[in-house]
Amino acid sequence: MFSLPESYSLSTAQLDDTSEVADFLQLQYRLAYQHDTGLDPEFFSSRRFRNRLEDYLEFQIDDPHTQLLLARKAEVVKGTIGLVFDRVRAQRAKVWGFYVDQAAQGNGLGRGLWSHTMEVARLSGVEDVYLEVAKGATEAIEFYQNRGLVVTDETKSTWPGNWGGLMVETSFLTMERSGIIEQ
């Protein structure tokens, strides 16, 4: 059963949340990609990245096939997780934008966000979830493995691609889980 730690609230992102969520995610990207990923964490501090991120978030938040959840404490975003429902295979969804503020890690917020998202997916008829994670993100990979996801593919990608900045070849893992049942 899903529950967030006490004093956290959960809401679905709306377009007027875009700037606040972009601020949160920009910091999370910078922190997440500073070790063993091959990506330049300073790129994530750039104005260009921030503008692209905000445009991307507006698109995702406005898309009826996407849901982005926000966990807040004292009205400040402390965690995010998104779910993109596959337009072709209705029983499949991609998890994206799953980040928890470093100060909020270790208290069950990530587990609560994950469990709630899996419940939303299950109730929507989703049977399989997948996500992509940088190969060097060992803590994230372990979190996903503990929730039943397995590595199904490794790709090398020149990233951040059309987002600008330094082009770096980075390895990403695709992790999948069939049969979401988490009650």
How far apart are alpha carbons 80 and 132 in whole angstroms?
16
35 domain residue, yes or no: yes
CATH number for 64: 3.40.630.30
Which helix (H) or strand (E) segment holds residue 76: the answer is strand 76-85
108 domain residue, yes or no: yes
37 domain residue, yes or no: yes
Residues 110-123 have a mean pLDDT of 93
Q: Is the pLDDT of residue 46 over 60?
A: yes
CA distances for 72 relative to 41, 54, 94, 99, angstroms: 25, 19, 23, 12
In a 3-state reduction of DSSP, which class is residue 61?
A: helix
Q: What's the structural domain count of the chain?
A: 1
Q: Residue 24 sits in which domain range? A: 8-178
73-89 per-position pLDDT tens digit: 999 999 999 999 988 88
34 domain residue, yes or no: yes
Half-sphere exposure of 65 (CA within 13 A, CB side): 12
Residue 39 pLDDT class (50, 70, 90 cuts): low
Cα dihedral 101, 50, 132, 147, rounded to 10, equals 20
